Chains A and B, each alone.
Chain A
């Protein structure tokens, strides 16, 4: 039995078998992968393994699927590929997972030990290449080390601040025979993430909150990684604190709640951006003062003191000076904060901030998102995305690519739980949506719809994975918001380069997405106008047992607003295209 390590005659295995046994012992259910020379030994015992293998069409697909799986489930996503070009095809996904703290285990084949350094066929220095974009990596030097390396990698990937870990295994190590042993413990003396917050700091944080007049919870993706939605809800509602949720945290506090203020940042909701600017205290939970949130750092939230809770001590004080630093797992720390509240009566630390809450509600009411959907029939992308949400509803998981469609999806869909919204935030990886949605669907199972909302540019980067979805019967709903442009780049060229459009047009009908759907043997639906929207989506909704492709031909001129131009202060937020034009006019242009 895998995982057992009884005395007596040790079982002889190959390194390849040890890889599979290790994954089984860790309880891994599914691996996303692609075979090839150096990893081939591991593909043989895979045939008999208690593991599902999803055969991708490009290794980038494998790592994004592993990410999507991890995003959606909180478990480690695993991918396995061969050496050289296959391993380098993982680079984008590893960097993506590193930026967004996604637990991924990547196993790569390597040339035989004796050939390392000789520029052998399909040799690449994969541990060297991936060192700065993984949380950790290891070149396995002996078959006896395989189980330990994989167990440690899995542990490092999912603990502390999660991230990608890569294990590179030479082919001769995979082929060697040795006595199997599963290490009982992980032996990493230099790795011990702090889990519990410092008691004194916990009290200080509560005192700052109690004394504050305009506090805001600045909720980041770390809350999603930690699975701290319930704790966050209890904490925010007991103290009555308004909450902004970053792009990576959408849904971790329900948008439908009256304390929800929306999304901060470059394309955040007006209320989310301005609430932070006006705040006198930021209760920062698993967020990292990313430049897309802060805008110009010096003028970000200028009146605010800062409580900062993060499992990664290096995030604390990195971009913004902090008044109360708390290193710890944000779920555990919220538990500690709630415990102190439990020991007191409910109002002990609740600040008297009725006026502030009302002000924040007014911000929300008076500055809603503006979508001018005309009656002419032309379809606005926001209208399409809103209709997608209304079709697949709150129970679905939404996965976006990168660009305008991503920002609209973050803005217009009311998210109500963590892991309901999956996207590439830190790296902004075009091509993420199709494979990540497939991985997410594998993770959440049949009963939860998974909807990819992609751009026409992004889609063309990774749509080869439609075949993976078909072959493995993974019924994802793929929506493409086709505006015939690299829309986000076009928007910047329009706004900041005098509308001199440079290399951003993509023919709206090439490729013909309906023929793509046809080629992959899946139903395809095209929506040209507002009037067709509901009936077509109703038809697409009927299909639950196979992948579906839905294309929306949308107004190419639509831009994402609100917007804080890159490097500008959040105070200079532009709410709408009209406001932008008015500003230009005032500036005499």
Chain B
């Protein structure tokens, strides 16, 4: 199943996340990751959903999402035409000689050291999901104590905006 990244503008109303998650569960769709946060308009939130679906099912997912009254707009962000980011915190065992190797590694990935203890280092990294995976693979041999990763967020490249030419502006309908 292909992965697709959907950017979804929703009205910032109570329960909207439950509606979306519930619809996915009810219709047996697959969510790989979900990130939600505010936008420049306080009445609107933006969700980024990564879903696993074949073409026909993806069309259904978008249509079913669109039926939710609080969903304002949906676009699919193509991988090569968008900036895709995740954020990650990794706590790695770091004793003796390993410390400098880990710090070097973090440097290579343009990651930041955000916490240091006598036997561990916590690294903050943001980037393309594949880059984060590569970093984790290299850190693994040192011993990962714990890690946390955010859902994917993404924006289309170039000057275009999701709200361009759309009816998304909060306007009265009837």
Contact = CB atoms under 8 A, between A and B. Distances in A.
Contacts of A186: 172-174
Residue from A135, A141, A187 having most chain B Cβ neighbours under 10 A: A187
Residue from B22, B56, B69 having most chain A Cβ neighbours under 10 A: B69
B22 A314 contact: no
Interface stretch (A126-134, A292-300, A350-358): A126-134
A198 interface: no
A192 B173 CA distance: 7
Nearest to A315: B63
Contacts of B22: 131-132
B124 to A, nearest CB: 35
Interface stretch (B7-15, B82-90, B97-105, B126-134): B7-15
B67 A312 contact: yes
A22 to B, nearest CB: 16
Contacts of A131: 15, 18-19, 22
A317 B59 contact: yes
A288 to B, nearest CB: 13
Interface string A118-144: 000000000110011001100101000
A47 interface: no
Contact of A189 (B14, B26, B63, B72): B72
Nearest to A314: B63
B60 A314 contact: yes
Contact of A139 (B14, B64, B70, B167): B14
B23 interface: yes
Residue from A131, A155, A312, A317 having most chain B Cβ neighbours under 10 A: A131
Identify whether the interface residues of B are mostly helix, strand, loop, or mixed.
mixed
Interface string A161-194: 0000000000000000000000001111111100
Interface string B147-174: 0000000000000000000011111111
Interface in A446-485: none
A127 B71 CA distance: 17
A318 interface: yes
A317 B56 contact: yes
Residue from B63, B67, B70 having most chain A Cβ neighbours under 10 A: B67
B138 interface: no
B19 A188 contact: no
A374 B62 CA distance: 56
A314 B64 CA distance: 6
Contact of A190 (B14, B56, B68, B174): B68
Contact of B67 (A128, A185, A188, A314): A314
A308 to B, nearest CB: 13
Nearest to A191: B69
A190 B69 CA distance: 5
A79 interface: no
Nearest to B71: A190
A156 interface: yes
B172 A313 contact: no
B66 interface: yes
Identify whether the interface residues of A are mostly helix, strand, loop, or mixed.
loop
A132 B64 CA distance: 12
B15 A189 contact: no
Nearest to B26: A132
A192 B60 CA distance: 18
A313 B63 contact: yes
Interface in A416-466: none
Interface in A279-316: 312-314
Nearest to A317: B59
Given A190-B70, A313-B66, A314-B63, A185 B174 contact: yes
Nearest to B56: A317
Contacts of B15: 127, 131, 139
Contacts of A314: 60, 63-64, 66-67
A135 B64 CA distance: 11
A314 B70 CA distance: 16
Contacts of A188: 69, 173-174
30 contacts: A128-B18, A131-B15, A131-B18, A131-B19, A132-B22, A132-B23, A132-B26, A135-B69, A141-B14, A155-B174, A185-B173, A186-B172, A188-B173, A188-B174, A189-B167, A189-B168, A189-B169, A189-B170, A189-B172, A190-B10, A190-B70, A191-B173, A192-B167, A192-B173, A312-B67, A313-B63, A314-B64, A317-B59, A317-B60, A318-B60
Given A186-B172, A188-B174, A192-B167, 6 more contacts: A127-B15, A131-B15, A189-B170, A192-B173, A317-B60, A318-B60
Interface of A: 127-128, 131-132, 135-136, 139, 141, 155-156, 185-192, 312-314, 317-318
